[in-house]
């Protein structure tokens, strides 16, 4: 009880002095108190939803979790099986997947470290899952940085992940508990959880647009992989959150239609955007497919040998231009 009162007083003092710059999660404390109306001396008792409700919440994430399984399995094995558990939540902060040592699961469930408990910031205060979802970034929360004092000391490392439409889908969380919470290697875990969520986004995007042409754009952002999917006409049919951010793409833009080439500063009056340029491209592609065989290319294009020779001369196309 003394620890609870002492921590609560520290939270209140930090909020009252508006000393947001000194503590990295003070802004979350402020939201908890003033936006959500939470009291640091009154932590809620973890309450688990029913199995039926949990299944309902899990269904929308099922395809993404299926493609994420290898990444999550690697993460789980890398962490070991002592004093650490892995949680994956939906966008509302309710874990739909939990991995932890079998021997510890009764205690973990008692403290809410299991599927079906609301870890949103609005319900559970500052914590890894809830706060990373609100701030949409990878972060860690040490025991003294939680809004509430937890009976089981925990250190969380969490990162959000986004679906193939760039929409917030959930968060992946690594939690060290008990004595292990003081020794959690957060410096190593932060890149690990960020890499894991980025890989989840990449794998899900490829699964969602299987069979389509996918372009990976050079450059890294905190938003995740920069990928776009295009149809045979070079029209974008999908983009990750990272791609949407760097190209300033909105859902309305994609619905209206965006040409992938236009994103890479291709001028509309360039040769590629004229009939002459289009003809050049068709001829060059078919010649490449046919290994430079002019007769086979004329047959594929249903034109005479004389016509294709004339067009090749017009476009100055020969074997030197095929690669």
- Angstrom distance (rounded) from CA 158 to CA 189: 9
- Tell me, what's the pLDDT at 19? 63
pTM: 0.79
Token pair in block for residue 155: 């250190």
> What is the percent of the chain with per-residue pLDDT over 70, rounded to a whole number?
90
**Running DSSP on this structure, what letter comes out for residue 60?**
G
CATH class of the 2-205 domain in this structure: alpha beta
- Name beta bridge partners: 98: 87
174 bridge partner residues: 86, 157
Question: pLDDT tens for residues 188-226?
Answer: 899 999 999 999 999 999 999 999 999 988 765 544 578
Tokens standing for 172? 């992946």
Predicted local confidence at residue 70, as pLDDT? 94
What is the predicted pLDDT for the residue at 101?
A: 92
Residues 6+ apart with CB under 8 A from 220: 226
Dihedral sign (CA 2, 179, 21, 33): negative
Q: How far is CA 86 from CA 79, 97, 159, in A?
A: 9, 8, 12
**CB atoms near residue 199 (< 10 Å):** 20
Exposure letters 255-273 (e unless 16+ CB within 10 A, then b): eeebebeebeeeeeeeeee
Query: Among residues 129, 131, 88, 136, which one has the least CA distance to residue 245?
Result: 136
Q: Supply the pLDDT for residue 222.
A: 46
What local confidence, expressed as pLDDT, does residue 224 receive? Answer: 52
- Report the pLDDT value the prediction gives residue 270, as an integer from 0 to 100: 45
Q: What is the pLDDT of residue 265?
A: 54
- Largest Cα–Cα distance in the chain? 94
Closest CA to 64 of 199, 193, 195, 156: 199
- pLDDT score of 287: 86
% residues pLDDT > 90 (the chain):
56
Q: Which fold has domain 271-321?
A: Arc Repressor Mutant, subunit A (1.10.10)
Query: From CA 269, how far away is CA 37, in angstroms rounded?
Result: 58
In the chain, what are the domain boundaries? 2-205, 209-263, 271-321
The pLDDT tens digits of the residues spanning 150-203 come to 878 899 999 999 999 999 999 999 999 988 888 889 888 999 999 999 999 999
DSSP-derived secondary structure letter, 156: E
Alpha-carbon gap, residue 205 to 67, rounded angstroms? 9
Rounded to the nearest integer, the mean pLDDT of the chain is 87
What pLDDT is attached to residue 202? Answer: 94
* Matching residue, tokens 């003092």: 13
**What are the mean pLDDT values of the chain's consecutive 10-residue runs (323 residues total)?**
75 79 82 94 92 94 94 90 92 96 92 96 96 96 91 91 95 92 88 94 95 82 74 91 90 89 57 66 84 89 88 76 53
């Amino acid at each position: 009880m003394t620890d609870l009162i002492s921590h609560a007083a520290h939270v209140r003092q930090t909020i009252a002095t508006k000393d947001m710059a000194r503590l990295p999660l003070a802004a979350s404390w402020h939201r908890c108190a003033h936006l959500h109306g939470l009291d640091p001396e009154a932590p809620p008792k973890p309450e688990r939803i029913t199995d039926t409700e949990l299944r309902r919440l899990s269904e929308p994430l099922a395809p993404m979790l299926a493609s994420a399984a290898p990444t999550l399995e690697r993460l789980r094995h890398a962490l070991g099986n002592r004093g650490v558990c892995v949680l994956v939540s939906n966008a509302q902060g309710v874990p739909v997947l939990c991995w932890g040592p079998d021997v510890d699961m009764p205690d973990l469930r008692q403290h809410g470290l299991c599927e079906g408990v609301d870890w949103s910031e609005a319900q559970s205060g500052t914590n890894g899952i809830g706060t990373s979802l609100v701030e949409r970034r990878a972060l860690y929360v040490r025991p003294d940085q939680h809004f509430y004092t937890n009976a089981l000391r925990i250190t969380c490392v969490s990162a959000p992940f986004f679906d193939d439409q760039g929409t917030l889908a959930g968060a992946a969380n690594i939690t060290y508990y008990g004595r292990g919470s003081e020794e959690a290697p957060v410096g190593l875990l932060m890149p690990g959880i960020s890499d894991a969520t980025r890989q989840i986004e990449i794998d899900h995007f490829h699964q969602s647009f299987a069979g389509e042409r996918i372009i990976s754009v050079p450059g890294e952002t905190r938003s995740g992989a920069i990928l776009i999917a295009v149809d045979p006409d070079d029209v974008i049919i999908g983009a990750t959150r990272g791609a949407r951010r760097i190209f300033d793409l909105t859902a309305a833009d994609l619905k209206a239609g965006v040409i992938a080439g236009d994103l890479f500063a291709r001028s509309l009056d360039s040769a590629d955007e004229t009939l002459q340029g289009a003809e050049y491209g068709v001829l060059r592609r078919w010649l490449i497919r046919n290994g430079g065989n002019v007769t086979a290319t004329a047959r594929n294009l249903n034109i005479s040998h004389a016509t294709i020779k004339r067009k090749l001369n017009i476009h100055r196309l020969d074997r030197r231009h095929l690669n």
